[in-house]
Amino acid sequence: MCSIAKKSHPLLFSLPQFLTWRAHGFRSICSGRLGFAASSDPEPPAGAGTKVLDSFKEEFEIGSHLISLETGKIARFANGAVVLGIEETKVLCTVASSKGDAFSDFLPLTVDYQEKQFAQGVIPNTFMRREGAPKERELLCGRLIDRPIRPLFPLGFYHEVQIMASVLSSDGKQDPDVMAANAASAALMLSDIPWGGPIGVIRLGRICGKFIVNPTVDELSLSDLNLVYACTRDKTLMIDVQACEISEKDLEAGLRLAHPEAIKYIEPQIRLAAKAGKQKKKYKLSMVSEKTLEKVTKLAEKPVEAVFTDPSYGKFERGEALDKITQDVKGALEEECDEESLKVLPKVVDTVRKKVVRKRIIAEGIRVDGRRLDEVRPIYCESSNLPILHGSSLFSRGDTQVLCTVTLGAPGDAQHLESLVGPPRKRFMLHYSFPPFSINEVGKRVGLNRREVGHGTLAEKALLAVLPPEVDFLYTVRINSEVMASDGSTSMATVCGGSMALMDAGVPLREHVAGVSVGLVSEVDPSTGAIKDYRILTDILGLEDHLGDMDFKIAGTRNGVTAIQLDIKPAGIPLDIICESLEPALKGRLQILDHMEREISAPRTQDDRNSPRLVTMKINNDALRRLIGPLGALKRKIEEETGAKLSVSDGTLTIIAKKKSMMEEVLEKVYFVIGREIEVGGIYKGIVTSVKEYGAFVEFNGGQQGLLHISELSHEPVSRVSDVLSIGQPLSVMCIGQDVRGNVKLSLKATLPQPGPETRKLVEGSVPAMKETPNVWASVGDVSNRLEQQTSVLEESVSKNKVSSVNPSASSVPIVLIRNAAECDEEEKCAGLNHSSNSKSKSSDASKQDQNSSTCKKLKSSSQKGREIGSNSNFISGDDTDEIFTLASQARSRILNGKETEGRTPMTAKKLKLGTKVTAKVYQIRARGLVLDLGGGIRGMYRFENNGKNHHEIGDELHVECLSFNSKGIPIMTLVDEA
């Protein structure tokens, strides 16, 4: 466009500079308007050494980490802003305060902690791709910052203060919560808000008995202690502990080590505040005048003292009496028209109550309800009060009552976490609820409550130490704690009730866990602020928590502490008093554990009514694909039909069902799809897929095929298979073995009651106590006559009939298996011929030899037509098969009824040695030898001599001697008469 304009108006672009628009201060023509142009003279460059941003930085070392505090670069408009960094993890903390006078009678301090996903280079997985409501971890970190900071604000300072902590970047090595607490202290020091800091917050771990300062996340996963400690130079402000049954002595050693390490954070904050801090502003404090305090004390002290000295008052009766006193004082002030006193009346009356209670405890050692200082309130325990649930318990201590329930779920039910550090999932959850009716109030239940999340997490930490490891207990566990009535220490009551509910659910806890809250009432010197006298209270009431100085919650087993939470109201408590409180807490905890163990002392066994079942199995990927189906359709169908839950992960299938019958149903469906290892003697459900003249083929066990021969259909003779079976008919069949090619042999009559007085039904799905080992009989070839070759022919058949080493006296039943479908057509023909010939009496040895040779020829002919088994193979004929099946059924019946062979001394594997002489029976006649029944289910081999003839019949008794054992341990026998 510029070149075109030059060509059309050459004089316009060749004017001298003094005649142009810009020379007179006009802009170029734009949108048909003229305007003056801004001066184009460049600004003079900044002088050397001038900084655009004035930033200040302090670096120091604690433990093995270099820590930096920086201000002035980010969030310059905040009242105070600090970035604290450890390596690549950086946390920004800002402070702001409201302007003008305060109109509340409490400190409206708000602490917000946030972990945005950009800090670890991740886009949020939510629908809007934004961070949503605060997560539980963020609420807990906010409480961790709030608890040590709040007591250091001056009395009467009621201006709104907001502290916001944000994680700017995280390398996953350091937990940002402790960093945010120290950054908040530094930001308050830089601001103009009056505050009694600074403070230091430290984390302490212990690995192999050695304490570690500021451990990394990886080190913390190996530690048996997670201690967060906050303090000023000389006093303790906050303690938070999660431990694996650490002793009180070791805990005290950890606290005394943490204090000097935490102080190291204080000096850098003071130096940074000296460089960049603001002048503290003088805010108006809402203080009660001495005149008003004296007047209200004179009117209310005696009535309040009368209420607190009467131990017959309950919580609500005492509250009503105190409210009546307040109304009486209010009426007296209204008569005097004292508007100033009426404005602060509730606070002044509360001050009078606090003074009366504390004076009586310190002077007389008597508490509000008349208990001694170390006395625990009456305890009531009840487990399994809701028997339909997996686990339940009711725990009462005084007027505090908590109902706990346990629900067991599949591993897939675990909570998925999205925090910057820590594990990605949580399998143990404890949810604490504090409904308004528990204190007889009306309230609205909305969202997550910080107090509920904090109390639930404390109880969760206490119980986590005694849970079994995940590899031993795969269930996801959820405890729900409902506070039924509250009068102090509901979180510790949750620990006790949760422990009993877990044992009621059958969770194998190592020990019971109990918790108790310890309080403190102290007398302070007004001039110095030092504690002159104090009393430690065990198991404090809600009123003692409100009017006292400390709420020290300690939970643990008989062996040690598992969780601690310390909250205080004054500006610090000496560490010596904290350590002294551990002893009365232990005594109170042991008393509570005695009551809990009397109610339930060990995990209950699971029953069919209310206990879920969980099964985990390793299966290959092909089977998993078949089970899941297209787009998970088959998996969803099984879940809808059975009500169970199936989860697949890394080649592992996990099934959870509500009860045993449901688990059996879903396992049957799963096994039908993916199959399972077939056991001889096991009973399976199947469907008839084809019907032949010689039997039927049945599909079972996840698509596997098995042959149900006509001889195995019923105890009565069956002429046609189609009269009994049809295609698509469901059956329950027993696996009785497999042939040399691996074809499965099934039996229907083995699942049916046998005729006769001793009828025994086989329950579907059960497996007999004596598992039948499949006997695969090898063919006998026309090979060399050497003993080694004879042994190789018979060793496979005999070895699979050996007695189990567990119970030698009860033998497994030998099963002779027929072959695949292709063989059966030919075998039926052989069986028909041989059956007619064998029905005649055997008059001589020659006739027997002729029968055997004809059978061999027919079988050899059939093998050449339809199968290839091997050259010169001899097989058992069809009539022999029927006879052996009959013998096997009788033997199985004798074994199942626990009967041994009558008239014979049972032989055992231990008795049989070289040279042992026994009387054996001919069990089978083979082409090259005999299979002998030595008794007790033991089979032996006897080979014919060269060109020897068979003069034996099945059932003949022979006197034999053990000559040797082959490589598989099968005895080789010889006749005694021939020896």
Higher-pLDDT residue of 809, 401: 401
pLDDT given for residue 680 in this prediction: 83
pLDDT given for residue 979 in this prediction: 39
Does the structure show a pLDDT above 50 at 511?
A: yes
Closest CA to 489 of 443, 434, 436: 434
Task: Report the topology of domain 379-599.
Answer: Ribosomal Protein S5; domain 2 (3.30.230)
Task: Report the topology of domain 290-364.
Answer: Arc Repressor Mutant, subunit A (1.10.10)
Mean pLDDT confidence for 866-872: 35
Measured CA distances, 839 to 184, 831, 836, 880, 935 (Å):
103, 12, 5, 12, 29
Task: Report the topology of domain 682-751.
Answer: OB fold (Dihydrolipoamide Acetyltransferase, E2P) (2.40.50)
Mean pLDDT confidence for 676-704: 84
With bands split at pLDDT 50, 70 and 90, how would you rate the model's confidence at 579? very high
Of 238-247, 614-623, 707-716, minimum mean pLDDT range = 614-623
Mean pLDDT confidence for 735-752: 82
Q: What percent of the chain has pLDDT over 70?
A: 76
pLDDT given for residue 874 in this prediction: 34
Q: Do domains 379-599 and 682-751 have the same CATH topology?
A: no
Helix (H) or strand (E) holding 879: helix 878-896
3-state SS class at 552: strand
Higher-pLDDT residue of 865, 314: 314
> Token match 């801004």: residue?
38
Bridge partners for 700 per DSSP: 686, 704
pLDDT given for residue 608 in this prediction: 52
Of 155-159, 666-670, 896-900, minimum mean pLDDT range = 896-900
Is residue 745 within 8 Å of residue 711, measured between CB atoms? no
Half-sphere exposure of 873 (CA within 13 A, CB side): 18
3-state secondary structure 294-353: HHHHHHHHHHHHHHHCCCCCCHHHHHHHHHHHHHHHHHHHHHHCCHHHHHCHHHHHHHHH
Q: What is the CATH number of domain 916-975?
A: 2.40.50.140
Q: What percent of the chain has pLDDT over 90?
A: 38
pLDDT given for residue 964 in this prediction: 77
Mean pLDDT confidence for 612-618: 84
The tens digit of pLDDT for each residue in 362-374 reads: 988 888 888 899 9
pLDDT given for residue 855 in this prediction: 38
Does the structure show a pLDDT above 90 at 343?
A: no
Does the structure show a pLDDT above 70 at 218?
A: yes
The tens digit of pLDDT for each residue in 746-765 reads: 999 888 887 755 444 433 33
pLDDT given for residue 196 in this prediction: 92
The tens digit of pLDDT for each residue in 933-947 reads: 887 768 788 877 765
pLDDT given for residue 908 in this prediction: 62
Q: What is the CATH number of domain 613-674?
A: 3.30.1370.10
Distance, in Å, from the CA atom of 262 to the CA atom of 255, rounded to the nearest integer, reads 10
Mean predicted lDDT score pLDDT of the chain? 79
Burial 691-713 (b: 16+ CB within 10 A, else e): bbebbbbbebbbeebbbbbbbbb
pLDDT given for residue 947 in this prediction: 52
Q: Does domain 56-276 bear CATH number 3.90.850.10? A: no
Does the structure show a pLDDT above 50 at 723?
A: yes
The tens digit of pLDDT for each residue in 49-90 reads: 545 568 899 999 998 889 999 999 999 999 999 999 999 999
Predicted TM-score of the model (pTM): 0.68
Mean pLDDT confidence for 4-28: 46
Domain spans, the chain = 56-276, 290-364, 379-599, 613-674, 682-751, 916-975
pLDDT given for residue 741 in this prediction: 66
pLDDT given for residue 935 in this prediction: 79
The tens digit of pLDDT for each residue in 806-856 reads: 333 333 333 333 344 444 444 444 444 444 444 434 344 444 344 444 433
